[in-house]
């Protein structure tokens, strides 16, 4: 995507022509978490297939539309469905919507995903606040020509997940009576789930959860000066020795089971950031 700046501008111009109200908070909904959209009073929906240069999601459980609306009056943009490297998009294409968000005026991005647990204290259905990530097993989306108008060539990554939002999320979860875990998200390309040896390696390397999304979006957001918060729903426990077979259906089912807790926290967080 060499001329991505022009493409980003065209996509943003199309969206602004369809919905031209200021929105500063965006939410990306991971696998099985689409029900969060029910919290939004919808003002405008735009299918990804309508937006120039927008990739179109191919994976089951990811419908693919931008939803503009409000939660108790607070304007929000939700991405229902995201793009993954394993679908065949380049890393920059995966993160293309984040650059469009930047041009739309988004200042804070709340990201979610389904992830496998590699921390032995985690259980299926747990929520994990992402406090850091390890991205060396995926492709960096900033490889290629840098656009200085978006951000610097060598961005700092010492705090990809904003500490003040993490603290707000913890307070909200405590107020709602929902226990949340915290940890490091280890990104892989997928689409295979990990072997037993890989889950163990990820644990050894410092990961608490492993997943096939998120970090490319986070890197592009941080590059562009967008503040990020991330939360994983733990849908399987790869580190177990007895039975760690896993299917996409089980991931969707486990995510859907934890979705009410997740949505309650994210709803309050949208209002608080």
Residues that bind ligand HPA (CB under 6 A): 114-116, 188, 190, 193-194, 210-212, 235-236, 238, 246, 251
Pairing of strands 74-80, 65-71: antiparallel
Residue nearest to ligand HPA (CB): 116
**HSE (CB half, 13 Å, CA atoms) of 255?**
24
Q: In angstroms, what is the minimal distance from the CB of 137 to ligand HPA?
A: 11
**Cβ proximity to ligand HPA, 67 vs 202, nearer residue:** 202
Q: In angstroms, what is the minimal distance from the CB of 235 to ligand HPA?
A: 5
**Cβ proximity to ligand HPA, 236 vs 259, nearer residue:** 236
In 3-state terms, what secondary structure has residue 63?
A: coil
**Cβ proximity to ligand HPA, 145 vs 240, nearer residue:** 240
In 3-state terms, what secondary structure has residue 87?
A: helix
Helix or strand run (H / E) with residue 236? strand 227-237
**Cβ proximity to ligand HPA, 104 vs 251, nearer residue:** 251
Helix or strand run (H / E) with residue 131? strand 127-134
**Cβ proximity to ligand HPA, 141 vs 211, nearer residue:** 211
Distance between CA 127 and CA 124 in Å, rounded?
A: 9
Q: In angstroms, what is the minimal distance from the CB of 83 to ligand HPA?
A: 15
Distance between CA 3 and CA 33 in Å, rounded?
A: 33
Q: Read off the tokens for 212.
A: 């096939």
Distance between CA 267 and CA 36 in Å, rounded?
A: 8
Q: In angstroms, what is the minimal distance from the CB of 188 to ligand HPA?
A: 6
Q: In angstroms, what is the minimal distance from the CB of 201 to ligand HPA?
A: 13
């Amino acid at each position: 995507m060499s001329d991505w700046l022009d493409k980003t501008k065209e996509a943003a111009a199309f969206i602004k022509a369809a919905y031209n109200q200021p929105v500063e908070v965006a939410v990306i909904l991971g696998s099985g978490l689409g029900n969060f959209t029910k919290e939004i009073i919808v003002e405008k929906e735009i299918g990804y297939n309508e937006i120039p240069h927008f990739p179109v999601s191919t994976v089951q459980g990811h419908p693919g539309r931008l939803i503009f609306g409000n939660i108790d009056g607070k304007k929000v943009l939700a991405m229902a469905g995201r793009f993954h490297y394993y679908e065949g998009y380049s890393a920059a294409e995966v993160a293309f919507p984040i650059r469009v968000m930047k041009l739309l005026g988004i200042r804070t991005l709340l990201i979610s995903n389904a992830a496998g647990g590699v921390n032995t204290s985690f259980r299926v259905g747990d929520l994990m606040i992402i406090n850091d990530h390890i991205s060396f097993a995926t492709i960096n989306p900033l490889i290629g020509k840098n656009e200085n108008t978006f951000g610097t060539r060598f961005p700092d990554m010492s705090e990809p997940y904003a500490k003040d939002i993490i603290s707000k999320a913890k307070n909200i979860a405590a107020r709602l009576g929902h226990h949340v875990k915290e940890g490091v998200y280890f990104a892989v390309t997928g689409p295979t789930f990990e072997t037993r040896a890989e889950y163990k390696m990820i644990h050894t390397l410092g990961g608490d959860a492993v997943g096939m999304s998120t970090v490319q979006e986070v890197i592009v957001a941080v590059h562009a000066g967008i503040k990020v918060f991330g939360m994983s729903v733990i849908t399987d426990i790869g580190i177990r020795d007895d039975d760690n077979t896993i299917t996409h259906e089980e991931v969707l089912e486990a995510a859907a089971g934890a979705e009410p807790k997740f949505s309650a926290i994210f709803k309050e967080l949208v209002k608080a950031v």
